[in-house]
Amino acid sequence: MKQKIGITCYPTVGGSGVVATELGKLLAERGHEVHFISTSLPFRLNKTYSNIYYHEVEVNQYEVFQYPPYSLTLASKMAEVIKREKLDIMHVHYAVPHAVCALLAKDMVDHDVKVVTTLHGTDITVLGHDPSLRDIIRYAIERSDKVTAVSKALATQTVDMLQTERPIEAVYNFIDERVYRPQMSDEDLRESFEIPKENKVIIHISNFRPVKRVLDVVNAFAGINKETPATLLMIGDGPEKQLACQRAEELGIEDRVLFVGNQNHVVDFLNISDLMLLLSEKESFGLSALEAMACGVPVIGTDAGGIPEVIVHNQTGYICEIGDTEGAGKAGAYLLKNPGLYQSFSEAAKKRIKDVFSSANIVKQYESIYDDAREGG
Ligand code: GMT
């Protein structure tokens, strides 16, 4: 059934915004009418797409208010768009504030729109611990027509933490396989960063928040580098970048660790990489691991949240305990020094993407959730 779908996400760099935008693009390609309602154009909407509309939420600052009224302005814009465009579905990413805004908007209009909420993690694993927000998160989940979570781990954790009754369906993240695919290693890119020919390239991509444990990434890399010459590419930016730079200096490996900053075309970096490190202490899914695997790059991850649902231990990478940098370093070096084993991991990673995380597979799951929501199922 073709639907008119509103999508709200945080439009800036971040996994949830990426997933929401890529989903919108796929839905539009499949003939649905998609309306993005957000504060700025989602950064992945970088060309013109038919069937995609964008409604900007302009949040003004008023002297009388201490904080700009983002949630109210958003709810009001959602109501306006639902009413004018006769939306069938409002698909919101994050329970707070976005699902709450959608529920308010639904209440404001005389039109039967269904609210589908996708949980991405921070709304549960961080905000869910805040007693001042627990009840409103629970409300957002219970009142949504359908709720999805990006991993089984997150779905279970949500029920355990908030004792919600509304079923939460795990729908995994996906990648656009037209973009994330193995390509010939770009020698010019390697040369421009002066990466010696004999070095293996290890990559980490994140927002450098404390949960990403970037110091562990540098420590684990140091272990790999002791056994086989390597370069660490640190992609992204955030609060712990400076600490990670310092740790590299303390370990005397600063010339081996390149802080490349935020990048629009991470696929180019993935295609010159041999291994990814994702050593987070909280990670409801780990989209960057998926992107790496799609390019045939095995991943060493922690046993946090949904990471073990993405990486199959001993097949597409290794799972180690949170904080076990020695184990992660040893596992990484072992894999890199065994070409036959490495090749089988790389192939298994690509196969897993095709089998489990293909965009076609995931978009169909969302379509059937929308259909069920419309039919009251
Ligand atoms: O990881 C972040 O800090 C960003 C956050 C977001 O909202 O984009 O990522 C969350 O959603 C991603 C997309 O579903 C997941 O891949 C990330 O694992 C999840 N982050 C955490 O759970 C910490």
Q: Which of 91, 98, 120 to mutate to test the pocket of ligand 1 (most atoms within 8 A of CB)?
A: 120
Cβ of 207 below 6 Å from ligand 1: yes
> What are the per-10-residue average pLDDT scores of the chain (377 residues)?
96 88 96 96 83 94 87 98 98 97 98 97 82 94 98 97 96 95 90 96 97 98 98 98 98 98 95 98 97 98 98 98 98 98 98 97 98 92
The span from the CA of 274 to the CA of 335, in Å, is 10
Residue type, 188: D
Instruction: Output the pTM of the full model.
Output: 0.96
Cβ of 286 below 6 Å from ligand 1: yes
Please tell me whether the interface predicted TM-score (ipTM) of this complex is above 0.95.
yes
Residue 291 belongs to what H/E stretch? helix 287-294
Cβ of 14 below 6 Å from ligand 1: yes
Q: Which of 127, 280, 284, 307 to mutate to test the pocket of ligand 1 (most atoms within 8 A of CB)?
A: 284
**CATH 2.60.40.10, applies to 4-174+358-375:** no
Predicted pLDDT at 75: 98
C-alpha distances in Å from residue 215, one per residue of 140, 170, 206, 280: 35, 31, 12, 10
Q: Which atom of ligand 1 is nearest to the CA of 306?
A: 18
What's the gap in Å between 15 CA and the centre of ligand 1?
Answer: 5
Torsion angle (degrees, nearest 10) of CA 15, 19, 21, 25? 150
Nearest to 121 by CA among 241, 244, 261, 281: 281
The span from the CA of 102 to the CA of 316, in Å, is 39
What's the gap in Å between 338 CA and the centre of ligand 1?
Answer: 32
Question: What is the residue extent of each domain of the chain?
Answer: 4-174+358-375, 187-356
What's the gap in Å between 349 CA and the centre of ligand 1?
Answer: 21
Q: Which atom of ligand 1 is nearest to the CA of 283?
A: 22
Tell me which residue has its CA closest to atom 3 in ligand 1: 207
Q: Which atom of ligand 1 is nearest to the CA of 285?
A: 18
Predicted pLDDT at 13: 64
What stretches of the chain adopt beta strand conformation (E)? 4-8, 33-38, 52-56, 89-93, 114-119, 146-149, 168-170, 200-205, 230-235, 257-261, 275-278, 299-302, 317-320
The span from the CA of 68 to the CA of 66, in Å, is 7
187-356: what CATH class? alpha beta
Cβ of 210 below 6 Å from ligand 1: no
What's the gap in Å between 80 CA and the centre of ligand 1?
Answer: 29
What's the gap in Å between 164 CA and the centre of ligand 1?
Answer: 21
Q: Which of 18, 44, 122 to mutate to test the pocket of ligand 1 (most atoms within 8 A of CB)?
A: 122
The span from the CA of 351 to the CA of 348, in Å, is 5
Cβ of 247 below 6 Å from ligand 1: no
Q: Which atom of ligand 1 is nearest to the CA of 209?
A: 3
The dihedral sign for the CA sequence 23, 308, 261, 243: positive
Structure tokens at 30: 């499949």
Q: Which of 8, 10, 16, 157 to mutate to test the pocket of ligand 1 (most atoms within 8 A of CB)?
A: 16
Structure tokens at 131: 């007693």
Cβ of 122 below 6 Å from ligand 1: yes
Domains 4-174+358-375 and 187-356 share a fold: yes
C-alpha distances in Å from residue 29, one per residue of 19, 44, 49, 53, 155: 15, 15, 8, 13, 29
Q: Where are the alpha helices (DSSP H) in 144-254?
A: 152-162, 187-192, 214-227, 241-250
What's the gap in Å between 243 CA and the centre of ligand 1?
Answer: 21
| 8 Å CB contact between 34 and 55 | no
